[in-house]
Amino acid sequence: MNKLSRREELKNCAASLFRKKGYSATSVRDIAKEMGMEAPSLYNHIRSKKEILEELLIELGNAFVGGMKEIKEAPISSIQKLERIVGLHVKLTIEHTDAISLITSEYVHLDGKCAKDYRALRDRYESDLRKIIKSCIKEGEIKQVNVELAMFSILSTLRWLYSWYSKNKNMNPIALEQEMIKNLIEGIRK
């Protein structure tokens, strides 16, 4: 197993605190204390608390967009792509449970170029998901559904999966993925 760099440890620690206390209520001093350091020492690794949040959210956005790119390019049916998207969310939730929690509410603290970049990643991902759902309908793989509502329902459930998973970490990842596919896709499958 690879040892995390001090910066990665710091980001993981901050993500955990942001999740527990909220971004606004978490201070640099809180992060330093949790890391076993003095607050001024933390600035050897970061410029600001906001920098950590920005990195966490942009890295996640890139992970989702990168995963979506692989899924889109795979020579599989549209319904299989939709299933793989569920799998992507399960995988990233398991790997980054605390950081995933930030996408539901803490993204509002982004501003400037970072906020614009994050929105662009999110919009690109949602656009690709929308196209896959439309392809599923066109190919007769799922029922005629309201595309926006289907996308919203799927993403809302997947974005909050971290909350359930953090209390049920003993569930096998493959079983979790299969259960989520059954719950999210079987209801709209033809």
How far is Cα 32 from Cα 174, in angstroms, rounded to an integer?
Answer: 36
Tell me the residue type at 73: E
pLDDT at 45: 86
Compute φ and ψ for 142, nearest 5 degrees.
Answer: -130, 165
Give me the phi and psi of 189, to 5 degrees please: -70, 145
Position 182 confidence tier, pLDDT thresholds 50, 70, 90: very high
Task: Read off the pTM.
Answer: 0.92
User: What pLDDT is stored for residue 1 in this prediction?
Assistant: 46
Q: What is the mean pLDDT of the chain?
A: 94
Q: Burial level of 101, CB count in 10 A (0-12/13-18/19+)?
A: buried
Q: Find, among 105, 122, 115, the residue nearest to 54 by Cα.
A: 115
The answer to whether 32 touches 42, Cβ cutoff 8 Å, is yes
CB half-sphere exposure, 41, CA atoms < 13 A: 12
pLDDT tens, position by position, 149-159: 999 999 999 99
List, in order of start, the domains of the chain with CATH numbers.
Answer: 50-185 (1.10.357.10)
Residue 140 CA, distance from chain mean position: 29
87 closest CA partner among 176, 172, 186: 176
Q: What is the 3-state secondary structure (H, E, C) of 85-150?
A: HHHHHHHHHHHCHHHHHHHHHHHHHCCHHHHHHHHHHHHHHHHHHHHHHHHHHHCCCECCCCHHHH
| pLDDT recorded at residue 148 | 97
In this prediction, residue 6 carries a pLDDT of: 85
pLDDT tens digit string along 1-53? 456 688 899 999 999 999 999 999 999 999 999 999 998 888 888 899 999 99
* Contact (CB, 8 A) for 171 and 142: no
